Structure 1
Amino acid sequence: MRQLAGTQAGRAYLRSEVEGELQAIFSRSQATAEAYGPHFSRLWNLASRRVRGGKFVRPLLLLETYDALRRSADSIPNSRSTSQPRGAHARSEVVRIAAAVEALHFAFLLHDDVIDGDFFRRGRPNLIGELAEASRDEARPGGARHWAQTGGILSGNLLLSCAHQVFARAKLPAELKLRLLDVLEHTVFETTAGEFIDVGLSDGVFSADLGTVLEMTGRKTASYTFELPLRAAVILADGSRALENKLSAAGLHLGLAYQLQDDLNSTFGDASVHGKDLYSDLREGKQTAIICFARMSGSWPLIESDFGNPDMSIEAAKYLSDCLRDCGAEDFVRGLIREQVEAFSLVLCAPDSEESVPRTVQDVLFGLLARIDGRQS
């Protein structure tokens, strides 16, 4: 893999490793699912197919960072630096953890879709939407929706359990396994708290100030999308806690930039490219940094009347989007993204740090930043 590191072919190979492990994870429980009848077996198969159809941002980040740490260690004979990995573990265990991270991601997606009442993702029915469509003729009025959302909650629960099982059964030294489990527990708490705050903001329970919105974003998105894979990679490569903490800090800044860009795409982007329902954030009343800025502008009275209206027309939503752009909200959030990118770069390259990030890892993360910067989907 060394000659393919960081290339499109290299990422395709890593993706195939994760897909194979996910297939193995679901196959091991297939007989158990079948024992509970055809409907439950179909739910398990549907979840399996959906998990394996994602972008794999998180497991690929874990594997690329782990491989970069291993290359760095191999290039420094007899190195005693505390930031350098000390040993190696079976590749299969690393891939299995990476697959579990993707299962965790899909569990969060399922629960998020239920909370938001979403039946589509990237222009196609999501798991909940597919279940609802399949049961529409048999169920009582309203029953298909309730049954499908129940399936989403229960599938998410199963995948959360699956991720914990993989982490707990990893063939690793006890100290490393406990570190991994601590990171997993922290991630679940952080993401759950972030989702709770997100809904509280949208429902008006919490004050929608910029600090609260950014705190929510860090917990809901950055924690499990970037911090978890980076911290897990360091642990699996026997890296120091100091290096783990440093990459965790870098992951927070990268995650905030990633989500802020996602907010821009949803409000100002092309739905045929980013795949979300057109202007869904405006219809759902999502309290983003865009909206925080708009509240302080003279354009807010023009936006407030329709913001959060689930029945808002495309024309009205387009008008809101134009108002948000004209009042400076788009430029403001682009400035926030630049701030996070600068902070991210500083963490990675600070010359006075006791724990320098290996150049191989810097290459991985700056390469990821280049793919994220200005992304449309």
Structure 2
Amino acid sequence: MSATATDAALLRLLEEGRTRAAAIDPDHAVLWDALCAATEGGKRFRPALVVTTHDALGGTSPDAAAVVGAAVELLHTAFVIHDDVIDGDDVRRGRPNVSGTFGDRARAADADSREASDYGRTAAILAGDLALSTAVRAVATSGPPPDVVRRLLDLFDEALHTTAAGELADVRLSLDLAPVSLEESLAMAEQKTSAYSFSLPLRAGAVLAGADERTTDLLAEAGRALGVAFQLTDDLVGVFGDPRESGKSTTSDLRSRKQTPLLVHARSTAAWERIRRHVGRDLDDAELREVRELLTESGSRHFVEGLAEQRLAAAHEITDELGISLDLLTSTIIAPRVAGGRELVA
């Protein structure tokens, strides 16, 4: 997206943090620089949702909407950094992430592999914590009346709790201790993604615009549907995508046995015995091509695409009723998916 007021607000928050970090310790300043780098390259659709909703509902607090949008983006950054730690990934968008950056620094200083990895994970956990605290502070100082700020903080707190529950469920289900139902997998996706990426920014924009409770509740429902559609598409990117375009590994989800609806559906097909051989381990290029073919021929890929389309339609029905256009968002962020042999780009 082009530069916006939310970009400027995010830059201010990062520069303020960099100034505080530099005054404390040089190594801490390097950590903050890595956090700043982690915010780069995203599509910024979450802050755009805050501003779009605020404006569509007749809001008159554009400066506050920009700051709250920047806070949502920082919240996203925090979750991404922590998620990489949980998944054991050292690369994001084709370059070292926070843990990868600090692991490389430690190895360059002659630390052994284990020590370097531990140092990298430590840095990433701390950077994610800093992003979380900065996001909450930004909301608290965003400028609306105290009752509005309190409602915004409640929304952020709810999103934090829900997302944490979803992240824990993701890891728990990946233990593969018992069969996972489609309902469990979708509920996990809703908690992990919908709450903070869609319901939160939609509702925050509505609160800033002074919308009534019915409107904010409807937007929460739309956000849940949008989030599941997004996560389903992201799950497909995680297997069928082009890492050069998406910045997302196409083997990580399979290696970590993530119980996505794609994998859950595959378990119910006759191809599962062949598919399962590709789950829980690293794959070479030939093996990845093979499991992609199996997931396609079994109907699992088509099934997940259909689920995403259903959720997207449900969300549009609500936002259209409220006069909020999400066409740009859904056409560029959610809609692209595997079709006719084309690879997903997210």
Larger Rg over CA atoms: 1
Select the residue among 28, 38, 41 that pairs with 2:29.
Answer: 41
Task: Supply the distance in 1 between the matched residues of 2:154 and 2:177 (Cα, whole angstroms).
Answer: 31
Residue aligned with 1:277, SS: coil
Does 1:21 pair with 2:9? yes
Q: Are 1:197 and 1:206, in contact at CA under 8 Å, matched by a contact in 2?
A: no
Cα deviation, 1:133-184, whole Å, max 9, x if unaligned, reads 1221214312111111100000111111111111122221122111111110
Report how far residue 239 of structure 1 moved. Answer: 0.8
Select the residue among 34, 50, 55 that pairs with 1:67.
Answer: 55
Q: Are 1:222 and 1:252, in contact at CA under 8 Å, matched by a contact in 2?
A: yes
User: Against the structure 1 CA distance between its residues 206 and 100, is the aligned structure 2 distance closer, same or farther, given a 3 Å change threshold?
Assistant: farther
Residue 167 of structure 1 aligns to which amino acid in structure 2?
V
Task: Supply the distance in 2 between the matched residues of 1:172 and 1:214 (Cα, whole angstroms).
Answer: 35
5+ long unaligned stretches in structure 2: 338-344
Select the residue among 283, 286, 289 that pairs with 1:315.
Answer: 286
Q: Are 1:200 and 1:206, in contact at CA under 8 Å, matched by a contact in 2?
A: no
1:171 aligned residue: 143
Select the residue among 322, 325, 349 that pairs with 2:296.
Answer: 325
TM-score by length of 1: 0.85
Task: Supply the distance in 1 between the matched residues of 2:335 and 2:108 (Cα, whole angstroms).
Answer: 45
User: Against the structure 1 CA distance between its residues 206 and 109, is the aligned structure 2 distance closer, same or farther, given a 3 Å change threshold?
Assistant: farther
1:73 aligned residue: none
5+ long unaligned stretches in structure 1: 1-10, 71-84, 350-355
Q: Are 2:240 and 2:250, in contact at CA under 8 Å, matched by a contact in 1?
A: no
Report how far residue 338 of structure 1 moved. Answer: 2.1
1:367 aligned residue: 328
Residue aligned with 1:177, SS: helix
Task: Supply the distance in 2 between the matched residues of 1:205 and 1:165 (Cα, whole angstroms).
Answer: 40
Task: Supply the distance in 1 between the matched residues of 2:267 and 2:88 (Cα, whole angstroms).
Answer: 26
Q: Are 2:176 and 2:257, in contact at CA under 8 Å, matched by a contact in 1?
A: no
CA RMSD of aligned residues (A): 1.7
Q: Are 2:45 and 2:329, in contact at CA under 8 Å, matched by a contact in 1?
A: no
Q: Which 4+ residue blocks in structure 1 deviate beyond 4 angstroms? A: none
Task: Supply the distance in 2 between the matched residues of 1:49 and 1:121 (Cα, whole angstroms).
Answer: 11
Report how far residue 269 of structure 1 moved. Answer: 2.6
Q: Are 1:194 and 1:220, in contact at CA under 8 Å, matched by a contact in 2?
A: yes
1:130 aligned residue: 101
Point out the more displaced range, 160-169 or 49-58: 49-58
Select the residue among 283, 294, 313 that pairs with 2:266.
Answer: 294
Report how far residue 30 of structure 1 moved. Answer: 2.8
User: Would you say how many aligned residue pairs link Structure 1 and Structure 2?
Assistant: 337
1:1-377 correspondence runs (5 A): 12-14=2-4, 17-70=5-58, 88-89=60-61, 91-141=62-112, 142-205=114-177, 207-309=179-281, 311-349=282-320, 356-357=321-322, 359=323, 361=324, 363=325, 365-371=326-332, 372-375=334-337, 376-377=345-346
Residue 334 of structure 1 aligns to which amino acid in structure 2?
E
Report how far residue 207 of structure 1 moved. Answer: 4.0
Residue aligned with 2:24, SS: coil
Residue 148 of structure 2 aligns to which amino acid in structure 1?
L
TM-score by length of 2: 0.92
Residue 12 of structure 1 aligns to which amino acid in structure 2?
S
Report how far residue 245 of structure 1 moved. Answer: 0.8
Residue aligned with 1:136, SS: helix
Task: Supply the distance in 1 between the matched residues of 2:287 and 2:271 (Cα, whole angstroms).
Answer: 15
